C-alpha cells in the first residue's frame, strides 16, 4: 500500500481548521437566528392612499382660517345731490316757472324724497283749483316731513275745502301739538270743522281760544259775534316754510 505524501494531510488539516474558525467567527457576529426571522412574515395588504391613517403632524400647524374683510360701504350722496337740485329749482321758480314745474313733476314721478317738491306742486295745483291733486301732493309732503306745521295746516285746509271734516279735525289737532306761530288760525278753522260736525260747544271753545291768542282773528270774531256762522270765509294756504326746512 502506497501512502499519500505527508504535505497533503497537512493541507487538509489546515483547511478543516480554517473552516471551523470561519464558522465560529460568523456565528459570533450573527448570533442565533431568532424564530421570527426564520418564519417569513405575511406580507401586509397595501391600502389605498386615502385609507391610510395619517400620523398627526407636530411640525406643521393647521392653516389659519382666512379672515374675510367686510366690503367698505361708500357714503350715499344721493340725498345731497337731490337737495342741491331742488335748491337750484327753487332759485329758478320766479324766472322760469313752467320749466321748474315740469322738472318737479319728473322728480315726483321718480318718488324723490324731498318734501319741497310736493309742497310746491300742491300749491300750484291749489292755485289752478285742482284740490284733489293738491291734497295728494300735500299728503306726500307730510309723509316726508311730518313735523312741518305749515304743510299740515295746508293739508287740513284742503280737507276743509272738500268738506272732509273728520280728516281736517285730526290734521288740525296735529298742528296744535306743534304749537306754530299761526296757532290762532288753526283754532279758528278747527272751530269751523267742529261746528259743521255738530259739536257746537267744542267749536265755540276753539274760537274763544283763537281770540285769546289773537283778539283780531277775523274768523273767530265772525262766528262768536253772531254773524253768518253757516258760511266759512275762504281759507287760504299758509306760505311755505323757511328755505332751511326740508
Torsion sign over Cα 147, 150, 155, 160: positive
Q: What is the structure's pLDDT at 225?
A: 79
Q: What is the structure's pLDDT at 132?
A: 95
The Cα angle at residue 182 between residues 146 and 206, in degrees rounded to 5: 95
Q: How many Cβ atoms sit within 10 Å of the Cβ of residue 11?
A: 11
Dump pLDDT digits (tens) for 171-193: 999 999 999 999 999 999 999 99
Query: What distance in Å separates the CA atoms of residue 153 and residue 181, rounded to the nearest whole number?
Result: 12
For residue 190, count CB atoms less than 10 angstroms from its CB and return exposed for 0-12, middle for 13-18, buried for 19 or more: buried
Q: What is the structure's pLDDT at 154?
A: 95
Q: What is the structure's pLDDT at 162?
A: 94
Query: What distance in Å separates the CA atoms of residue 189 and residue 184, rounded to the nearest whole number?
Result: 9
Dump pLDDT digits (tens) for 13-53: 666 756 766 665 556 555 554 544 544 555 555 555 444 55
Global pTM exceeds 0.85: no
Contacts of 100 (CB under 8 A, 6+ apart): 89, 92, 93
Q: What is the structure's pLDDT at 121?
A: 96
Task: Identify the segments of the chain with pLDDT beneath 70.
Answer: 1-15, 17-18, 20-76, 226-236, 238-246
Query: What distance in Å separates the CA atoms of residue 130 and residue 14, rounded to the nearest whole number?
Result: 142
The Cα angle at residue 40 between residues 38 and 43, in degrees rounded to 5: 165
How much of the chain exceeds pLDDT 70, in percent?
Answer: 61
Domains of the chain as residue ranges with CATH = 91-224 (1.25.40.10)
Contacts of 108 (CB under 8 A, 6+ apart): 117, 118, 121, 137, 140
Q: What is the structure's pLDDT at 39?
A: 47
Query: How far from the centroid of its chain's Cα atoms is residue 215's Cα?
Result: 50
Amino acid at each position: 500500500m502506497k501512502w499519500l505524501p505527508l504535505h497533503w494531510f497537512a493541507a487538509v488539516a489546515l483547511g478543516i481548521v480554517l473552516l471551523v474558525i470561519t464558522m465560529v467567527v460568523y456565528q459570533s457576529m450573527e448570533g442565533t437566528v431568532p424564530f421570527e426571522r426564520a418564519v417569513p412574515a405575511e406580507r401586509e395588504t397595501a391600502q389605498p392612499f386615502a385609507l391610510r391613517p395619517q400620523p398627526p403632524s407636530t411640525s406643521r400647524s393647521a392653516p389659519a382660517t382666512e379672515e374675510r374683510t367686510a366690503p367698505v360701504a361708500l357714503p350715499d350722496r344721493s340725498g345731497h345731490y337731490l337737495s342741491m337740485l331742488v335748491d337750484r329749482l327753487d332759485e329758478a321758480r320766479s324766472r322760469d316757472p313752467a320749466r321748474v314745474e315740469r322738472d318737479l313733476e319728473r322728480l315726483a314721478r321718480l318718488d324723490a324724497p324731498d318734501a319741497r317738491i310736493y309742497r310746491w306742486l300742491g300749491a300750484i295745483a291749489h292755485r289752478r283749483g285742482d284740490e284733489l291733486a293738491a291734497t295728494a301732493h300735500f299728503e306726500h309732503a307730510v309723509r316726508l316731513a311730518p313735523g312741518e306745521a305749515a304743510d299740515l295746516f295746508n293739508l287740513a285746509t284742503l280737507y276743509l275745502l272738500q268738506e272732509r271734516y273728520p280728516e281736517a279735525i285730526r290734521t288740525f289737532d296735529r298742528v296744535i301739538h306743534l304749537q306754530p306761530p299761526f296757532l290762532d288760525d288753526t283754532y279758528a278753522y278747527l272751530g269751523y270743522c267742529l261746528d259743521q260736525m255738530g259739536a257746537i260747544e267744542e267749536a265755540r271753545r276753539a274760537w274763544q281760544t283763537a281770540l285769546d291768542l289773537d283778539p283780531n282773528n277775523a274768523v273767530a270774531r265772525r262766528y262768536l259775534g253772531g254773524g253768518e256762522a253757516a258760511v266759512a270765509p275762504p281759507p287760504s294756504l299758509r306760505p311755505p316754510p323757511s328755505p332751511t326746512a326740508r
